[in-house]
Chain A
Amino acid sequence: MSALEAHVVVRRDDFLLDVELSVPAGTTAAIVGPNGAGKSTTLNALAGIEPMTRTDHDDGPIGRIELNGKVLDDPGAAIFVPPRLRNVGIVFQDNRLFAHMSVHDNVAFSARARGQHRREARHGATHWLEQLDLAELADRRPAELSGGQAQRVAMARALASEPDLLLFDEPLSALDVAARTELRRVLRTHLDGFAGPRMIVTHDPADAFLLADQLHVIENGRVTQVGTPDEIRRRPATPYVAALAGTNLFAGTARAGRVNLDEHVHEFTIADTTLDGPVVITVHPRTVSLHPRAPEGSQRNTWATRVDLLEPMGDTVRVTLNVPIPLAVDVTPGAVAALELAPGMEVWAAVKATEISATTA
């Protein structure tokens, strides 16, 4: 039995959120899904900010949230543990720092709220300030912080409350690209260092695939797929997941405009020649073109490969390649016909250097 066993049911007007989640201690679950799918509502229900729906419809599902064997919310049994007694730490997209307090007092807030004296609480907070590299910012007000710094303070504040469950609601999406890369690294470190179950809501495939052990895809209030990043990538169950999983993601090492992949014998040419060291690159399926022979053109990346699988996906066809690298490619049905694509067929793949996005890992 997992540390977090939750069946989250929230009914709101015409919308029904009905999601089952199970997250073992020491693992990270990502919740991904389109806007309005119910991702944030799920987290809010887990934190107790949004109480689950009572049984006003006799035939409807009834939710239940259990953390480390303790029932936090069970409308069927009229159990509701208020947020302050749940020990659930949550980092919000908009950080929600207390503007009238210094960074130090923000991080010490939880200890003070639980009855510690100011000095003791502030002393305890210094540990987390140091852990998140915030010691020098301790006396600043939130208004004097950059977005990335503020989000680090929010993480320190949540961690300092010594939660049993750690939740992140789109923690990176309000940040610019540079801050996002930096904070993703911090996030990964502290996710790994947290012993309990942790959950991250995101709509960025990079976050989901890089940070999570298990992905839960939520669409329109329901879980449409659960699996490891690898499983999800291999067998996307819905068009949304396919689009998400289709974002070909590779870790590698950059030097002078070339990226050597970590897990495959392959090299990509990228436009940015200034990157140096570990990077993550993404190749969108629609930017890859397929050719019967070695293409002569402006594309800097061409390689011989073989078609593994063809799947119609709405108005495009998903082509799965596996050698020398696993890659999802989206082409039009017209292209499939023109090239007479079929599984097992030898083709050439090509992608422009400018179409590959690379960020420091």
Chain B
Amino acid sequence: MSQRSQFGSERSPVVLIVLGSVGALLFVLPLVGLFGVTPWSNLVSLLTNEIVIDALVLSLVTSTVSAALCLLFGVPLAWMLHRVDFTGRALLRAVVTLPMVLPPVVGGAALLFALGRRGLVGEPLDDVTGITLPFSIWAVIIANTFVAMPFLVITVEGALASLDGRHEAAASTLGASQLTVFRRVTLPMIAPSIRAGVVLAWARAFGEFGATVTFAGNLQGRTQTLPLAVFVSLDADRDAAIAISLLMVAVSVTVLLVLRGRWLSGLGSRS
């Protein structure tokens, strides 16, 4: 580690380096600990276990579908929160970002009260269509989307706020309707932030535990995602828990690294 700052010959302030290093340790140490206890010799057999494969597939599928749903609904929601003037906008914005601070278990319980079999929406849904959401793969996806979408919404809303509307005004003088302006000018201009928001949402969904276990339960092959598999294994088979944890770290780091260069770069420049 070089002790030189970007300003060349002058040395970086030691106090900042020390504090920053302590901060970095918080993230590095647990990883080192995890590597230290990993049963490397039978890692392959631990990870090819049916439970793990089921959980991995479910996690990848649900977090990817959730990220897609975040994109589909989150971008228009961010646009609405930023561009449409309506009463209660500040309140709605607070409610939308609530899942970022709410314990996920509470969020899961709230989802259950609303969409459960006896819930506000769940009961009529069940009566009319026979569809029951809780303890299904859809429950996992809804729980994931619930906790993940705020990340996309605030990222995109920040990008919209940094646009000054000049290009959109130019587009409107060229005969473009508001929807055309949004599609052909606004969206491409905030594309880097949208991509960053999708990556954040995917990552958040991939790691979701509390809301999922509350709203979707813990059924192997149906609602048991990787984080749930880790939790269950911690009691039953500690080595399996460690192996799955390592798998999650590997998948997450791979996704973040691969997407970082291409996509996440939009984060720094936009928000």
Q: Is B254 on the interface with A (CB-CB < 8 A)?
A: no
Binding site of B, secondary structure by majority: helix, strand, loop or mixed?
helix
Q: Are A157 and B167 touching (Cβ within 8 A)? A: no
Q: Are B176 and A90 touching (Cβ within 8 A)? A: no
Contacts of A101 in B (CB 8 A): 188
Q: Is A109 on the interface with B (CB-CB < 8 A)?
A: yes
Q: Are B173 and A98 touching (Cβ within 8 A)? A: no
Q: Are B173 and A84 touching (Cβ within 8 A)? A: yes
Q: Are B171 and A82 touching (Cβ within 8 A)? A: no
Q: Are A84 and B172 touching (Cβ within 8 A)? A: yes
Q: Is B89 on the interface with A (CB-CB < 8 A)?
A: no
Q: Is A128 on the interface with B (CB-CB < 8 A)?
A: no
1/0 per residue, CB under 8 A from B, across A78-96: the answer is 0000111111111010101
Q: Is B175 on the interface with A (CB-CB < 8 A)?
A: yes
Contact among B172, B176, B180, B189 for A100, CB-based, below 8 A = B189
Q: Are A109 and B184 touching (Cβ within 8 A)? A: yes
Q: Are B175 and A49 touching (Cβ within 8 A)? A: no
Q: Considering only CB atoms and an 8 Å cut-off, how many residues of chain B contact the other chain?
A: 17
Q: Are A110 and B166 touching (Cβ within 8 A)? A: no
A84-B176, A113-B184 known; A92 and B189 CB under 8 Å? no
Residue in chain A with minimal CB distance to B169: A49
Q: Is B185 on the interface with A (CB-CB < 8 A)?
A: yes
Q: Are B185 and A98 touching (Cβ within 8 A)? A: yes
Q: Are A96 and B174 touching (Cβ within 8 A)? A: no
Q: Is A47 on the interface with B (CB-CB < 8 A)?
A: yes
Q: Are A98 and B172 touching (Cβ within 8 A)? A: no
1/0 per residue, CB under 8 A from A, across B175-199: the answer is 1110010001100110100000000
Q: Are A83 and B173 touching (Cβ within 8 A)? A: yes
Contacts of B161 in A (CB 8 A): none
A84-B176, A100-B188 known; A109 and B166 CB under 8 Å? no
Q: Is B253 on the interface with A (CB-CB < 8 A)?
A: no
Q: Is B170 on the interface with A (CB-CB < 8 A)?
A: yes
Q: Are B175 and A110 touching (Cβ within 8 A)? A: yes
Q: Is A57 on the interface with B (CB-CB < 8 A)?
A: no
In residues 42-64 of chain A, which contact B (Cβ within 8 Å)? 44, 47-49
Residue in chain B with minimal CB distance to A154: B170
Q: Are A94 and B166 touching (Cβ within 8 A)? A: yes
Q: Are B185 and A83 touching (Cβ within 8 A)? A: no
Residue in chain A with minimal CB distance to B174: A110
Contact among A48, A86, A96, A161 for B166, CB-based, below 8 A = A96
Q: Are A48 and B173 touching (Cβ within 8 A)? A: yes
B170 to chain A, nearest CB (A): 4
Q: Are A113 and B173 touching (Cβ within 8 A)? A: no
Q: How far is the CA of A83 from the CA of B165 in the complex (A)?
A: 14
Contacts of B166 in A (CB 8 A): 92, 94, 96
A92 to chain B, nearest CB (A): 6
Q: Are A89 and B173 touching (Cβ within 8 A)? A: yes
Residue in chain A with minimal CB distance to B170: A96
In residues 231-248 of chain B, which contact A (Cβ within 8 Å)? none
Q: Are B173 and A86 touching (Cβ within 8 A)? A: yes
Q: Are B169 and A83 touching (Cβ within 8 A)? A: yes
Contacts of B174 in A (CB 8 A): 84, 89, 109-110, 113, 157-158, 161
Q: Are B170 and A92 touching (Cβ within 8 A)? A: yes
Q: How far is the CA of A239 from the CA of B141 in the complex (A)?
A: 71
Q: How far is the CA of A47 from the CA of B171 in the complex (A)?
A: 12
A96-B166, A96-B167, A113-B184 known; A88 and B189 CB under 8 Å? no
Q: Is A99 on the interface with B (CB-CB < 8 A)?
A: yes
In residues 146-166 of chain B, which contact A (Cβ within 8 Å)? 166
Q: How far is the CA of A44 from the CA of B170 in the complex (A)?
A: 10
Q: How far is the CA of A114 from the CA of B174 in the complex (A)?
A: 9
Contacts of B175 in A (CB 8 A): 84-85, 87, 110, 113-114, 161
B203 to chain A, nearest CB (A): 26
A72 to chain B, nearest CB (A): 12
Contact among A88, A96, A109 for B176, CB-based, below 8 A = A109
Contacts of B189 in A (CB 8 A): 99-100
Contacts of A89 in B (CB 8 A): 173-174
Q: Are A113 and B171 touching (Cβ within 8 A)? A: yes
- Choose among B174, B180, B184 the residue with the greatest number of A CB atoms under 10 Å from its CB: B174
A98-B167, A113-B180 known; A49 and B188 CB under 8 Å? no
Contacts of A88 in B (CB 8 A): 173
Q: How far is the CA of A48 from the CA of B188 in the complex (A)?
A: 24
Known: A84-B177, A109-B171; 9 extra A-B contacts, CB below 8 A, are A48-B172, A49-B169, A49-B173, A84-B173, A92-B166, A96-B169, A98-B188, A113-B175, A114-B175
Chain B contact residues, CB within 8 Å of chain A: 166-167, 169-177, 180, 184-185, 188-189, 191
**CB-defined A-B contacts under 8 Å, sample of 13:** A44-B169, A47-B173, A49-B173, A83-B172, A84-B174, A84-B175, A96-B167, A98-B171, A100-B188, A109-B171, A112-B184, A113-B171, A113-B174
The 10 tightest CB contacts between A and B, nearest first, are A113-B176, A110-B174, A100-B188, A96-B170, A83-B172, A49-B169, A114-B175, A83-B173, A113-B175, A84-B175
